[in-house]
Chains A and B, each alone.
Chain A
Amino acid sequence: MARKITIEPVTRVEGHGKVTIHMDDNNNIVQSRLHIVEFRGFERFVQGRPYWEAPVLVQRLCGICPVSHHLAAAKAMDVIVGAGTGDGLTPTGEKMRRLMHYGQIFQSHVLHFFHLVSPDLLFGIDASPEIRNIIGVSIEHRDLAVQGVMMRKFGQEIIRATAGKKIHGTGAIPGGINKSLSIEERDFFLKGDDPFNADHMITWSLGAVEFIKDYLKKNRELVDNFAAFPSNHLSLVRKDGAMDLYHGVLRAVDHNGKKILHDVDYLDYLDYIGEEVKSWTYMKFPFIKKLGKEDGWYRVGPLARLNACDFIPTPHAQKEFEEFRAYTKGKPNNMSLYTHWARLIEVLHAAEMMKELLHDPDLQGDDLVVKGTKTNEGIGLLEAPRGTLFHHYRINDDDLIEMANLIVSTTNNNTPMNRAVESVAKQYMTGQTEITEPMMNAVEVAIRAYDPCISCATHAIGKMPLKIELYDSQNHLLDKKQK
């Protein structure tokens, strides 16, 4: 009888997930799946609400990256109020939003790397779970753990200063923003005592990049072969090909670097991106339409962004980008664990961007909002920490939202995460009769590379019901459970 192994929950991933691995009678892996229990009712919930509420309402989606949803919704509402896409705002409006966004990227990536990933790197994926966590890092590598805490705090304070508050921020509104940055707020970040200032954040970010490069150098065989598989890569890029995490055109490249989407306007995303539904998971499978469902899936996030862009417009990050691209001889990097390198280059870029923006006098401007001719449909995209985030709304004549469609970053990475699980399961579990802790963690390490945010909910109701079904090789249901 075929065996089915279930691993749940996936540790140190935002939210809840379940992995099922099917083996045949000879203990060969025949099927591996990452099942996502994702609550999708939110799109219906916003229907009937006034459009101007959307940037605040959507923050209810997620306690992990509310700023990304806040800004993506605001960008969509910019279109509805006739303020254009991204570059149509006043300089103060656009730059305040950018500062908020880079603060979010910085703190989110820092949390993921220092808290969730560094234990695997410092202690090894086969180390005891008792030590392989942030407490273990704080005991063995205290300076590194303190850096993670202080960098995270810096990003959070940037968000507080630009969004107005940490919870349900109101900084971005349709057509602009509702506050600029005072001189006092600016100087708090630029002239704060060490280490709490923008310069120190750059220094620490450079150190983090050196840390990951050292790890990769010493563990090349592992990382080059762990969850490595060819894929397409999708990202927003600036019109000149530069990395731009706030605004740009949609570009996709294949595993060799050949362009599949040629810098298209994201307002036309429905012409290029489709979503497939599968019966065994709540999460959809996006794909590039012209390649079809089978071949059109793609990665998003730090690895995809560094594979898709031509350069990074800040000096330190650009230098690291050149080294990153040189490792694969200018071709896209298709090895999942290199996402950590890419993510830390983005941390460095975000630190540089925050400093650059903080020095910009436009942040103290008082021209905050733009309005034009209203339309009834708006689309907003940005590069959230985990990847491309799509928000699409249509409103009626009473200014009420009648349709919303969201494609969140983790959904875009659905197929790549499943491929990563399959790759690692075959590598670590084929022929095995027992699942050991290191084997289980290998699967989780593969998923964690994509930093998925699964539940998009906060703790009190974060535990969605899960149904577990057990089938034999003849597809007979042996057992089912719900909790």
Chain B
Amino acid sequence: MNESPTVLIYGYGNPGRQDDGLGNAFVEKMEQWVRNKNISSITFDSNYQLNIEDAEAISDKELVIFVDASTEPIDDFCITRVNASEASVEFTMHAVSPSFILHLCNQLFDKYPHCCLLHIKGYEWEFKEKLSSKANANMLKAFDFLCDKLRHPESRISLFKELVEC
């Protein structure tokens, strides 16, 4: 990894379905922070869901941080390492996973960026634009955590090394 690794932060979900938009809201907040701090080499993307072209989008990055809403029994947020997996060919396109994207990237472009997934706990999934207050609080905790990790190039490198399964 370079001294100042290229980082992509990629949030996905439907912001029209309340907390499903956690990943998108996180990216919006993080992008503003990076702009204010004038930090280079960190880019952002956001979409309703991951799709096959994202294999190309991550291929020139060294570290990719996917951000998604979670319904799993976690307290507020957690971050896990993503490994390429063929088993993640899901039965609908709605569920293409980060591990599938990483696997496809490796197959098509011979690249294998370091990838992790930031899970942020969500609670409400109705046809509304706004995050629930509990989900928003979780997003702010995750935001503080990642700001700390991305503030300096050396901590970006250590982020990947520190990843543990939650």
Interface residues of A (CB under 8 A from B): 9-16, 41-42, 45, 57, 59-60, 63-64, 66, 111, 114-116, 133-135, 138-139, 142, 145-146, 148-150, 152-153, 156, 166-168, 455, 457-462
Contacts and interface: CB of A to CB of B under 8 A. Distances in A.
A14 B94 contact: yes
A9 B107 contact: no
Contacts of A111: 51-52, 93
Interface stretch (B8-16, B35-43, B74-82, B151-159): B8-16
Given A134-B89, A150-B56, A168 B15 contact: yes
A163 to B, nearest CB: 12
A4 B24 CA distance: 43
B104 A138 contact: yes
Contacts, number: 117
23 contacts: A9-B92, A10-B91, A12-B93, A42-B127, A64-B48, A64-B93, A111-B52, A114-B52, A135-B86, A135-B104, A138-B107, A139-B107, A148-B52, A149-B56, A149-B104, A149-B108, A150-B56, A152-B52, A167-B24, A167-B47, A167-B48, A457-B17, A459-B95
B162 interface: no
Contacts of B47: 166-167
B46 to A, nearest CB: 6
Contacts of A148: 52
Contacts of B14: 60, 63, 167, 457-458, 460
Contact of A460 (B13, B89, B91): B13
Interface in B100-159: 103-104, 107-109, 122, 125, 127
Given A9-B91, A135-B86, A138-B104, A460 B71 contact: yes
Contacts of B94: 14-15, 63-64, 455, 457-459, 462
Interface of B: 13-17, 19-20, 24, 46-49, 51-53, 55-57, 69, 71, 86, 89, 91-95, 103-104, 107-109, 122, 125, 127
Contact of B122 (A455, A458, A460): A460
A156 B91 CA distance: 22
A466 to B, nearest CB: 14
A461 B17 contact: yes
Contact of A458 (B48, B55, B86): B48
B48 A63 contact: yes
Nearest to A462: B94
**A-B residue pairs, 10 tightest by C-beta:** A60-B16, A63-B48, A458-B14, A138-B107, A153-B53, A460-B20, A461-B125, A459-B94, A152-B53, A11-B91
B20 A167 contact: no
A142 B20 contact: no
B16 A135 contact: no
A60 B86 contact: no
Contacts of A64: 48, 93-94
Given A9-B92, A148-B52, 4 more contacts: A64-B93, A115-B93, A142-B108, A166-B48
Contacts of B122: 460
Contact of B89 (A45, A133, A156, A458): A133
Contacts of A138: 104, 107-108
B108 to A, nearest CB: 5
A16 B94 CA distance: 10
A16 B93 CA distance: 11
Contacts of A41: 127
A166 B50 CA distance: 12
A168 B107 contact: no
B44 to A, nearest CB: 12
Contact of B92 (A14, A57, A114, A146): A14
A149 B53 contact: yes
A152 B109 CA distance: 16
B56 A134 contact: no
A150 B95 CA distance: 21
A155 to B, nearest CB: 9
Contact of A142 (B49, B52, B91, B107): B107
B119 to A, nearest CB: 12
Contacts of A14: 92-94
